[in-house]
Amino acid sequence: MLLQIEALGKTYHGLRERRVLRDISLLLDAGEYVAVMGESGIGKSTLLNLVAGLDRPDAGRILLDGRELGAMDDDALTVLRRESMGFVFQAFHILPYLSVAQNVALPLLLAGAAGHGPAVQGILDAVKLGDRGDSLPRELSGGELQRVAIARALVHRPRLVLADEPTGNLDPESAAQVMALLRERVKSANAACILVTHSHAAAATADRVLILGADGLRPA
Amino acid sequence: MRRLQRFRRFLPLALAPMRLHQGRAVASVLAIALGVAMGYAVQLINRAALAEMEQAVQTLSGTADLEVRGPRAGFDETLYARLARREDVAVASPVLELELRIAGIGPVAPGSSDSTLRVLGLDVFRAGHIQPELVAMASDAQSAASTDMLDLLRPDTLFLSPAAATAFKLKVGDMIALRAGLGERRLRVAGLLAAGAERYAVMDIAAAQQAFGVTATSGTSGTAGTAGTPGTAGTPGLINRIDLRLRPGADTQRTQASIAAILPPGLFIEAPRANVTRNTMLTRAYRVNLNVLALMALFTGGFLVFSTQALTVVQRRSQLALLRVLGVTRRGLAALLLAEAGVIGLAGALAGLALGHAAAALVLARFGADLGSGFFRGLQPELHFAPDLLLLFLLLGLLAAFAGCLVPALEAAQASPARALKSGDEQEAFAPLRRAGPGAGCLVVGALLSLAGPVNGLPLAGYASIGLVLFGAVLLMPWLAALVFSHLPEATGIASKLARMQLAASPGQATVSLAAIVASFSLMVAMAIMVSSFRQSLDDWLTQVLPAELYLRVPTGVDGVFISADEQQRIAALPQLRRADFLRAQQILLAEGRPRVALLAREIDPADPARMIPLVAEAPPADATKALPPVWVSEAAADLYALAPGGAMDVPIAGRNVRFRVAGIWRDYARQQGALVIERSLYVGLTGDHRATDAAMLLSPGVTTEDARRAVHGVLGGDDRVEFGEPGEIRSTSLRIFDRTFAVTYALEASAVLIGLFGLSTSFGALVLARRREFGMLRHVGMTRRQIAAMIAHEGLLVSGLGIAVGLALGWVLSLILVHVINRQSFHWGMEIHIPWEKLGLLALALLALAVLTALFSARRALSGEAVRSVREDW
C-alpha cells in the first residue's frame, strides 16, 4: 500500500478551538486516483497539508511507502516531498521570474539531477507545451499555466500527486482539458493522486470519489 | 559536497528574482558602495598621512634611544654637556628646532598658506651618529659639485631638504631671508640634503643660536630660557631637545629614570617612539570620528538592504513557500536569500573599493592629506595599496548586506509554508517585530552607556550608546506604528478613511519605510544639531574673546618673533589707541608623553576674570592669607590633566615648578591640547621676560582701524613680522575654517542622507507596487484613480509624518550624546545646544514632500490597467 492514513485528527487552537478533522482513514495504492469532495471549510486542504507533511496531526498517523511521517523532522519531510510528491494548486503558483522550462525543472534541480533537459522537454511535450519552454508565465493563459503546474508536479516521477482545486480558476473547457491531462499523466506515471475539488465534473475523472464530512471520510 | 554542487546548480535560478527588480538591486548595491567608498577613502588618506608623519618624525629622531624635551622656547644648553659626560651615554646630540617665517615669500604648497620653514640647529658631528639622514647630502652631480663640507659649520649657511627646495623654488647658492627677533637674517643655501619629504633646513647649532638670538638670560645651567635676546659670546644658548644614544649594554629604563631625576621642571625624557605616539594621538580622536561617520554611512547602506530585502521577501512570501513545498529546507531557503544579499554586498563592496581608492587618490593629489583637522596640513603623502584595508572594507560591505538580509531570511525560513502559500498572510511576517521589549532594552542599555567615561581617551562607550539608541528606536517602530495608527482620529473623505484603516489594520509593511525614515532622518537631525551647536558656540565664544577693536599677533607656530618691551610702550602711548593689552604665549610641557600646552600670560583681573576669558566654572573665593597665585585652565586642560576648580597644580616656569591654584575653567576652541592663563605681572616677575606675542587694542574716539593699524605698523618698523586682525575678520576667518574642518563631516552626512533617501524611495515604491491587486479591486468597485492616488498620498503623509516626528525626537537625543559625550571626550570641547529649527523644518518638509511624491510616482504604475487585470492573476 502506497499511502496509509489511520484515524487522523486535527484541531486548530486559537481564540476558539476548532476540530477540523476527526478519525480520517484512507488507503491508497500506486496508480489510484481518488477525489475528495466536501463543503467549504470542512478540512479538505487541511487533509492535503497533513499528507504533504506541511502540518502535523493531533491524532492518528500517516505512512507513505511504509514510512511514518510523524516520526520525521522538518528536513526529512522536506526531502520526502522533494523526492516523492508532486503538487498542483488552484492558484497555479508558477514563479513569474522563471521561464516555463525552468519552472518545470525546479523539482529536478532541487533533487540535484544534472542533464534534465530531455526530461523537461518530454513532459512539456506531453502537456502540449513543447514549444513554449522559453516563454515567461505572463505570456500564458490560465489553462496553459495549470498545464505547466501539472508538468512540474510530474517531471520527477513522484509516487504521490496532491491536487488542490486545480480547476478552481479555469473556465469549464480549460478545466476539462486540464483534468483529462492530469489523469492521463498520473496514470502513465503509475503515481497515486488525491484530488480535492468542489467540481463534480472534476471528481468524475477519479477512480473513487470520497466525501469529507464532520464524521470522517466516506465513499460518495 | 553533493549539497554544495546542488546549491551551485540551483543558485542562478535562485538569483533570478533580482532581474525582475533590478532597480531595487541597483539601489542596494549603490548604498553599500557609497558606505564602503567613504570609509575606505578616509582610511586610506589618514593612513597615508600618518605614515608620512611617522616617517618625518623618525627621520628627525634617527637612531636615538632617548630624547630630552622641554618647552618650545628652549632650555639651557649646559644640560647637554652634563648628559654627554654620563658613562651610560654614548652620544648626545643637542637640537635646536625653530619654526621661522621666511621674509617675503607667499603660500607655496597646495592647501597651505604657510611661509614658514623648520630650521634644525645641529651639532653635525654628533648628529651624524644619531640622525645620519639629517646630515646626508644629496648625491646628484649638481648638488655635490657645489657643496663645500665646511659650509656645515659656517654661520651664514644652511642646507635644505628636497621638499623645502621644491616648495620655495630655491637651489644651491640662492639666498633666503628668515625672520629673527626684531629683524631678519639672510643665509645662503649651501647644499641640498639627501632625504626629506617634509620642508626643513639644517644648520650649525651655534650659528642658529647666534643668528636667531636663542640664548639664556641667565648662565645657570638647567634654567629654562627666554629666547630672543641677541646672542653674545659666553652667554649659554638654548636648545629644545637632546637626543641620546646609549652605550651597548646600558639599561634604557634605568638610564631614563636616572636622568629624569635630575631634569629641571618642565623637561622630560622619553623614548623617541613617544613622539610618534604623541603625534598619532593628536589626530586619533579626529580620525576615529571620521571613521565612525563613514561607518554610519555603511550602516545606513546596510539598513537600506534590510528595508529592500524585508519588503521583497514579504512580497515573495508565497513564492518562497512554494520552494519549501517543493522541497527546499529551511536552511536552504535562508541560504538562498543570504546568497542574494551576498551578491549585492560583493558587488557593492567591489564598486565601493574602486570608488574609494579613486576618491582618495583625487583628494590627496588636489587637497593634500588634511581632511579638516589641520594636523596634516602641508603633507603631500603618496597613496599606497593597502591589502589589509581592502579586505577589511570588502568584509564590512558583505557584512552590511548580510546583516540587512538576516532577519527577513530567517523569518521566511521559519514561516509555515501551508499558511504562507495563501495571500493575505504577509502581515504575519511582521508580527514578531511588534514586541517592544528588544527595542526598549537597547534604549536603556544605550542610555546607560552614555554615562560611561572614555576608554583610552576615546569615547567608545559613546559610540556604542549612539548605535544602541538608534537600533533600539528602529526596533520599536513596529510597536509604535501599531499604537499610533490604531489610534488615529476619524477622517472625512473615503481616501483618507481607507488610508487610516489600512495603516491601522496592517502597519507591517509600512513599518519598514518608517524605520528607514527614522534611521536616516534622525542621523541628519543629530548631525545638524551638533554642527549648529558647535558653530553657534564658536560664534558666541568669538564674540566673548574678541572684545577689542584691533588685534595683532605673532603668526602661530613661528618662533623667534615677538614684540619687545620698548615697542609695547611705544604702542601703548600712541594717540590713536585708548588702551593696549599685551599677552605672552608660549608652549610648555606639563607631563611626559603629552603634547605641549599653551601658557598665556595676560592682563587679567583675578577679581573679575570673566571680563577677559569665557569662564564655565569658577572656584570658590580663596583664603587671602594662604592664596596661591591663580591659574585659569581651559576645558581641554581640565579634562586632560584632571584639574578642577579649587585644586592646585604645578606649572614649570623659568626652570622651576610654580604652584598655582586652579581658579576657574574657561572655554577655548583655539587650542585642543589645553591652555593655561596666568597674570602677566606674575609671569614677568618670575622670568624677567617682558616680551609679548599678542596685543588687543581699543581705539581712541574717531580713529579708524586703518589709522590705528598704520600707526602700530610704524612702531614695528613697517615689516610683516606680525599679523593684524579686526574682530569681524577674525570671526569670519574662524567660521570659514570651521566650515572647512567640517566639510568632510558634511560630505559623510550627505552620503548617509542620500542612502537614507534611496531607502525611502525604494521601500515606498515596493510597498505600493505590492498592492496592485488591492488597487485593482478598488477600481473594480468604483474608486477613481484620483481617489486611490489621494489614498496613497495620505498613507505616505502619515507614515513619513510619524517617521519625521520620531526622527526629530531621536535626532535630538542623539545630538545630546554627540555634544556632551563624544565631542567632549574626543576633543574636550564643551558647547551649548543650539537647534537649527529653520534648517530642520526645511529638511522635514523636503522629506515629507519626497515621501508623498515617491508614493504617487509608484502609484502611477499601480493604477494602470495592468492593476485591474492583476486581480485575476496569480500574483
Percent of chain B with pLDDT over 90: 30
**Which H or E run includes A200?**
helix A200-203
- Taking only Cα atoms into account, the Rg of chain A, rounded to an integer number of angstroms, comes to 17
Hey, of A83, A84, A104, A110, which one would you mutate to test binding to chain B, going by the most B CBs within 10 A of its CB?
A: A110
As given in the structure block, the three cell numbers for residue B10 are 540551483
Question: B422-437 in b/e burial notation, b at 16+ Cβ within 10 A?
Answer: eeebbebbbeebbeee
Confidence band of B873 (pLDDT split at 50, 70, 90): very low
- For residue A114, the SS3 value is coil
Cβ contact A110–B318 (<8 Å):
no
DSSP notation for B736-762: HHHHHHTHHHHHHHHHHHHHHHHHHHH
- Residue B850 burial by CB count (10 A; 0-12/13-18/19+): exposed, middle or buried? middle
Residues B438, B444, B448, B454: is their CA dihedral positive or negative? positive
What is residue B14's predicted lDDT score, i.e. its pLDDT? Answer: 63
First-to-last alpha carbon distance for chain A, in angstroms, is 22
DSSP notation for B185-229: EEEEEEEEBS--SS-EEEEEHHHHHHHHT-B-SS--TT-B--TTS
Question: Poorest-confidence range of A177-181, B61-65, B74-78, B463-467?
Answer: B61-65
Confidence band of B178 (pLDDT split at 50, 70, 90): confident
pLDDT above 70: residue B6? no
pLDDT above 70: residue B866? no
Cβ contact B322–A81 (<8 Å):
no
Nearest chain B CA: its distance from A110 CA (Å): 7
**Across residues B787-804, what is the average pLDDT?**
88
Q: Which of A82, A91, A137 sits opposite B326 (nearest CB)?
A: A82
What is residue A132's predicted lDDT score, i.e. its pLDDT? Answer: 94
Where is pLDDT greater, at B776 or B243?
Answer: B243
| Global confidence as pTM | 0.77
Between chain A and chain B, the number of residue pairs with CB atoms below 8 A apart is: 78
Most confident of B222-231, B281-290, B632-641, B711-720: B632-641
The residues facing A196 across adjacent strands are A36, A164
| Alpha carbon distance A63, A79 (integer Å) | 15
- Tally Cβ neighbours within 10 Å of residue B735: 14
What is residue B429's predicted lDDT score, i.e. its pLDDT? Answer: 62
For A115, residues 6+ apart whose C-beta sits below 8 A from its C-beta are none
pLDDT above 90: residue B51? no
| Alpha carbon distance B832, B819 (integer Å) | 8
- Taking only Cα atoms into account, the Rg of chain B, rounded to an integer number of angstroms, comes to 33
Residue A124 has, within 13 A of its CA and on its CB side, a CA count of 21
Chain A residues with a Cβ under 8 Å from any Cβ in chain B: 49, 52, 54-55, 74-75, 78-79, 81-83, 87, 89, 91-98, 102, 106-107, 109-112, 114, 137, 145, 169
pLDDT above 50: residue B221? no
**Across residues B660-670, what is the average pLDDT?**
93
Answer for the pair B170, B89: CB distance below 8 angstroms, yes or no: no
- Residue A171 burial by CB count (10 A; 0-12/13-18/19+): exposed, middle or buried? exposed
Confidence band of B3 (pLDDT split at 50, 70, 90): low
**Which H or E run includes B36?**
helix B22-61
Residues B319, B323, B325, B329: is their CA dihedral positive or negative? negative
The CA-atom distances, in angstroms, between B677 and each of A87, B608, B631, B668, B680 are 85, 14, 6, 11, 9
Q: Quick one: closest CA in B to A169, which residue? A: B872
pLDDT per residue over B289-315, tens digit each?
Answer: 777 777 777 877 787 778 777 777 877
Where is pLDDT greater, at A85 or B373?
Answer: A85
Q: Quick one: closest CA in A to B6, which residue? A: A112
As given in the structure block, the three cell numbers for residue B286 are 579626529
The 3-class SS string of B129-196 reads HHCHHHHCECCCHHHHHHCCHHHHCCCCEEEECHHHHHHHCCCCCCEEEEEECCEEEEEEEEEEECCC
Where is pLDDT greater, at B257 or A169?
Answer: B257
Where is pLDDT greater, at B621 or B67?
Answer: B67
Residues A111, A114, A120, A123: is their CA dihedral positive or negative? negative
Residues B401, B404, B405, B407: is their CA dihedral positive or negative? positive
Question: Poorest-confidence range of A103-107, B24-28, B745-749?
Answer: B745-749
What is residue B809's predicted lDDT score, i.e. its pLDDT? Answer: 96
Answer for the pair A172, A201: CB distance below 8 angstroms, yes or no: yes
What is residue B230's predicted lDDT score, i.e. its pLDDT? Answer: 37
Answer for the pair B238, B121: CB distance below 8 angstroms, yes or no: no
Most confident of A10-19, B128-137, B258-267, B559-568: B258-267
Nearest chain B CA: its distance from A95 CA (Å): 7
- pLDDT, chain B, mean: 82
**Across residues B245-259, what is the average pLDDT?**
91
